[in-house]
Amino acid sequence: MSRRSGGCVRCCLVVFAVLSALCVSGPAWYWRLKKAMGSGENASSSCAPCICDCPPPLSLLKIAPGLVNLSVTGCGGDDPDLRREMEKQFVDLLTEELKLQEAVAAEHARHMNITFLEAKRVASQYQREAEKCNSATETCEGARERAEALLIKERKVTSLWERRARRLGWEGE
């Protein structure tokens, strides 16, 4: 089964390659064939050359005269800031880059420390709230247990009084 599917995949790839080649080169062949056949048939009915009074194309000198001088020797010569930057040595530029990266790293570390301290503060606040909830739950649980014990005791006393009343002739509701 794997040989069969491998052969099918190869066949599909070959068909795809042939179709791609025809799609790419087909239009060029078509126009070449049409031109070759058209020159034989329409040689007698070809058009005379067109005569037009178009102005000559503009030259680059007329459009932008400053573009002809492509020398950049005086580029930024009158800007003192740019001149200072261009005179710096490569080591100075690297040192400046490292200082900038250190400043960014220090700012990032400061921001992270502030965020971490804020997270610790919020976590301790939540911890205190959780401890309050736990103590309140324990207090409520203790009160519930005491109330349950009192209820059981009260039911026993009620049952005792009901038995005594039935012995003395009370029939109940």
Walk along the chain (173 residues) in steps of 10 and give the mean pLDDT of each run.
75 89 83 76 59 71 63 64 74 87 96 96 95 94 96 96 91 75
- Give yes or no for a contact between 82 and 76, defined as CB atoms under 8 angstroms apart: yes
Identify which of 134, 132, 114 has the alpha carbon closest to the alpha carbon of residue 122: 114
